[in-house]
Structure 1
Amino acid sequence: MGIANLNRRARRPTRAAALCILTLLPEPTLAQQSKPAAASTDSIRIPLSDARNVGANSVRFSARQFSSEAPSVALFGATTATWHKARAALRQAAAEGHPVKGVFMGPTTETPSLEIYAKGSHVTNPIDPNVISQAEITTLLRDIYREYYPR
């Protein structure tokens, strides 16, 4: 069931139900992302869903649904600085062989929070993206990937 079906049931406007996958850069496959890369992380693409006009629970639902192959991240209340920090951490994790399935950018009016989902479950407490460092996010993603997606 996609976000569009969920929002039809909730009787949300169709426009808000659209799941837009934006690209950061040309897309490597998940298998290509899982190989460690010595090159710059700028070439790593992490799919981004702009869900700022969708309810927070719909964003969480979508993040759960996309976490079967690799962790997914929901980011709420993001500022430009927190987005850049999170994106760099996600790219670094992918470069180290721990890919992320996607990022769901939730409403910016919510309390700042970064939530990680794996295998259909919310596996972290909400994390304040203004407090956690980029290296800590990368380490957390690595640990979650190793625990929930063994090779």
Structure 2
Amino acid sequence: MALTLTSPAFAEGETIPRRYTRERENVSPPLRWSGVPDGTKSLVVVMDDPDAPSGTFGHWAVFNLSPEIGQLSEADSGKPGSGALRQGKNGFGNAYYDGPEPPVGHGPHHYHFRLAALDVPNLSIPADIGVLEIWKEADQHAIETASLVGVYERRG
């Protein structure tokens, strides 16, 4: 069975609800996955926007996830505590989820949620590393990847 990534909040190619954008609650959408391949020692989830005017913009990265879990609930965060998530710094300078906020009138942006099953138990990377760098590092250890694309556009 292939690795798959889905969300009960939106389907592949559909509009991301405003609740998950910086225009509203700015909470991370729920994500679910299945088909984690044998030999997976950790998982990484990133979200980026390749349609950003200045080039691909990183919105979120969660890494060193246990392969035993099959989802991230809505608004899971990296706040301190026993279940804290390891998160990288996004393009806004924050080490947590920041949702879509494309420029008004720039047209639809495609937000790529990516999941990687890794052959290492953790990524030994600096705490302040960015989303795009985390994905680059994860890609070197990926057994398999999956993606989910949501669309969002701000109108004037």
Structure number with higher relative contact order (C-alpha < 8 Å, ≥ 6 residues apart): 2
After TM superposition, is the score higher than 0.5? no
TM-score by length of 2: 0.32
TM-score by length of 1: 0.33
Which of the two has greater strand per residue? 2
Which of the two has greater helix per residue? 1
